[in-house]
Copies of this chain bind each other. A is one copy, B any other.
Amino acid sequence: MIGRLNHVAIAVPDLAAAADQYRNTLGATVRAPQDEPDHGVTVVFIELPNTKIELLYPLGDNSPIKGFLDKNPSGGIHHMCFEVEDILAARDTLKAQGARVLGDGEPKIGAHGKPVLFLHPKDFNGCLIELEQV
């Protein structure tokens, strides 16, 4: 069911510093920041040859990243995103096997303009998993 690893998302306490570090210290290709008000984050994508790193920084008062950064002030790996061909079929298969989908269970439009869902970390070895339909 799962295909490519679309990205690994890292919540960071200083977006400019983190972007600068990936660009200048680690020598990666770093894109411009983009605000995602619907998701409560500003994101910076880092393009690796085979996948992406997504730097996440809170945007607005109700950002879903804020609690994570309160608990992890240095930042940390927040989630990983797997691509699926059919997100509704994937969701139904996972739910039938007891996995919990976060929110109301309906796909939202993610940072790439494609439908996404998040799976409950407690059902997946403590890892927050995003599924993105490609």
Residues of A within 8 A of B (CB): 1-5, 8, 10-13, 18, 21, 25-28, 48-51, 53, 55, 72, 74-77, 80, 82, 93-94, 97, 99, 121-122, 124-127
Contacts and interface: CB of A to CB of B under 8 A. Distances in A.
Contact of A125 (B51, B75, B99): B75
A1 B74 CA distance: 23
Q: Give the residue among A48, A80, A93, A127 with the most B Cβ atoms within 10 A.
A: A127
Contacts of A10: 125-127
A56 B134 CA distance: 29
Contact of A76 (B5, B53, B75, B127): B127
Nearest to A1: B27
